[in-house]
Every structure is written in C-alpha cells, then in structure tokens.
C-alpha cells in the first residue's frame, strides 16, 4: 500500500486544491484547444503560484514590491 502525505494545515489543503484545480483547467483548455498556448499556460503559472504560497517561496518581484512600497516618491 502506498503512503501519501497528510495535509494538516488548512493553507496546505487550500494550496493543493487551488493548484489541482488550475492544472485541471489547463488540461481541459489544452485538450480542447479552447485558448492559445500562452493564455492556457496562465493556469500553470497560477498552479505554481499556489504551491509557492504554500511553501513560502518569495520571488524577486515580491521583495521589490515590499521594498518600494515603503518609499514615498515625491518632490
């Protein structure tokens, strides 16, 4: 019998669910050629983002947004 990880935290369950749903949507639009590839790939990016949020990954854009959000651009 295979062992599967047990998700104990609600944010982990939510992250996995959102990633799974986005991947399912990608597969559907890709299989039925409903969207151009770059648009369909947005579902994969959303899935990756959901997983990154779950593990606490931080991107360069996140750091820059946080740094520059505290600056006041003025005279």
**Does residue 5 lie within any of the structural domains?**
no
**Does residue 4 lie within any of the structural domains?**
no
**Does residue 29 lie within any of the structural domains?**
yes
> How many Cα atoms are found within 13 Å in the side-chain-facing hemisphere of 58?
5
Kindly report, residue by residue over 37-65, the tens digit of the pLDDT.
Answer: 989 999 999 999 899 888 888 777 776 77
pLDDT at 56: 81
Domain limits at 38? 10-68
For residue 51, give the nearest of 21, 73, 18 by alpha carbon. 18
Domain count for the chain, please give it. 1
> Is pLDDT above 80 for 69?
no
pLDDT at 33: 92
Kindly report, residue by residue over 3-34, the tens digit of the pLDDT.
Answer: 877 888 888 899 999 999 999 999 999 999 99
């Amino acid at each position: 019998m295979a062992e599967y990880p047990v998700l104990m935290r609600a944010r982990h369950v939510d992250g996995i669910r959102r990633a799974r749903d986005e991947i399912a949507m990608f597969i559907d639009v890709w299989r039925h050629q409903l969207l151009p590839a770059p648009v369909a790939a947005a579902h994969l990016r959303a899935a990756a983002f959901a997983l990154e949020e779950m593990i606490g990954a931080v991107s360069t854009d996140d750091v820059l947004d946080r740094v520059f959000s505290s600056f006041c651009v003025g005279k």
